[in-house]
Amino acid sequence: MENMIWDDILEKQPILTKIITNSIQNNRISHAYLFQGGKGTGKQEMAILLAKTVFCKQRQDMNPCQVCSDCKRIDSGNHPDLHRIEPEGASIKKDQILHLQKEFTYSGVESNRKVYIIKDAERMTTNASNRLLKFLEEPSRDTVAILLTENSQAILDTIRSRCQVMSFKPLIEKGIEKELLNQGVQESSAKLLAMLTSNITEAIEKSKNEEFAQTRKLVVQLNEMLRQNPGDVPVFIHTLWMPHFKERKNLQEGLDLLLIWFRDIMHIHLDVKEKIVHTPHIDKLEAASTHWSLAQTTKVLEKIMAAKRKLEQNVQPQLVMEQLTLHIQR
């Protein structure tokens, strides 16, 4: 998050970045923003960058310099005129908002400007929300409020109406893959994770998660067994596969990985190898492409999708897997 400039966020959220940077250029920064969107969409990064842009006295165009005392103290969380509020325990309480209001009755220490960021704003208690509403109803020209939320429906309509609402879109696959590579995730893993989730934070957690690593191994094992030792598949499903996937959502993820594997087989048939995700297993995929024809691979993909629907309809998970693996072997 440190040393980020507006062009970095432009790649994640082009429309919102244009709106904010235009308002900075025209000196029309709103007194209150509501940043709404899922985890990993860039809400917090944009909030911090906006705060830096407000306070940095050595700005270059719209970008903060990153090296002045204002920028460095924002990075370290010690800027006297930037106040951050997040839940204490399960919620943001009235006393936290009262304390914020008290702080804002004093003049800014470094300048006349003040910024406050409220993280997980949907977790404000009713009393805290009402207190914040009174604060927003009397905006100071030199105050900027930034509310961050993953659940905008839980924010009072009266608060929403006093904010400029900015809806952060889920990142597209290529954007997620690039971000993961920047975070040091291996290329083959970054490609795979970008297909599984649009949430950067979740993707990074999965990349370090032993259980997810084991899931990937089991999917490769299952595919090899379906091709080479189909008679052993029922025992494998019973003794290794099902004990690993204790919850339906985890089994759904296993099926998602199975789906991506067979898509890779299809990409080999269609000679579009640049789209292959499981590049470290290219030899296994090529062997699989001689085992399953293009027509058979297409049918397998349909059967995996049908199995995912059955799970959603609460069909017994072991039965779903037994039927699916039988279909794949035919």
The DSSP annotation for 21-57 comes to HHHHHTT---SEEEEE--TTSSHHHHHHHHHHHHH-T
Q: For position 196, what pLDDT does the model report? A: 87
- Which residues, given as ranges, of the chain have pLDDT below 70? 1-2, 107-111, 139, 141
pLDDT of 110:
61
d(CA 201, CA 170): 12
Q: pLDDT tens digit string along 57-73? A: 898 888 999 999 999 99
The pair phi, psi for residue 270, each rounded to 5°, is: -85, 0
pLDDT, position 12: 77
Tell me which CATH homologous superfamily contains domain 6-170: P-loop containing nucleotide triphosphate hydrolases (3.40.50.300)
Report yes or no: 77 and 114 within 8 Å, Cβ to Cβ.
no
Phi and psi torsions of 129, nearest 5°? -60, -45
Cβ burial of 318 (10 Å; 0-12, 13-18, 19+) is middle
pLDDT of the residue at 108: 56
Sequence-ordered list of residues with C-beta below 8 angstroms from that of 29, at least 6 positions apart, any chain: 23, 50, 54, 144
* DSSP letter, residue 123: G
Determine the pLDDT at residue 23: 86
Query: CA of 159: how far to CAs of 10, 36, 147, 284, in Å?
Result: 27, 13, 10, 56
Question: Span 209-329: which CATH code?
Answer: 1.20.272
* For the chain, the helix, strand and coil percentages under 3-state DSSP, each to the nearest 5: 60, 10, 30
- The alpha carbons of the chain give a radius of gyration, in whole angstroms, of 25
Q: How far apart are alpha carbons 86 and 118 in whole angstroms?
A: 6
Distance CA 318, CA 306 (A): 15
Structure tokens belonging to residue 262 = 């067979």
On whether the CB atoms of residues 109 and 83 are closer than 8 A, the answer is no
In this structure, what DSSP letter does residue 147 have? Answer: E
pLDDT of residue 86: 94
pLDDT of residue 243: 94
User: Which candidate, 203, 217, 191, 184, places its Cα nearest to that of 275?
Assistant: 191
Q: Range(s) for CATH 1.20.272 in the chain?
A: 209-329
Amino acid occupying residue 175 = G
Q: Indicate where the chain has its CATH 3.40.50.300 domain(s).
A: 6-170
pLDDT score recorded for residue 141: 66
Q: Of the candidates 187, 176, 164, which has an alpha carbon nearest to the alpha carbon of residue 280?
A: 187
Alpha carbon of 115 to those of 19, 84, 100: distances in Å? 19, 9, 11
The gap between the terminal CA atoms of the chain, to the nearest Å, is: 51
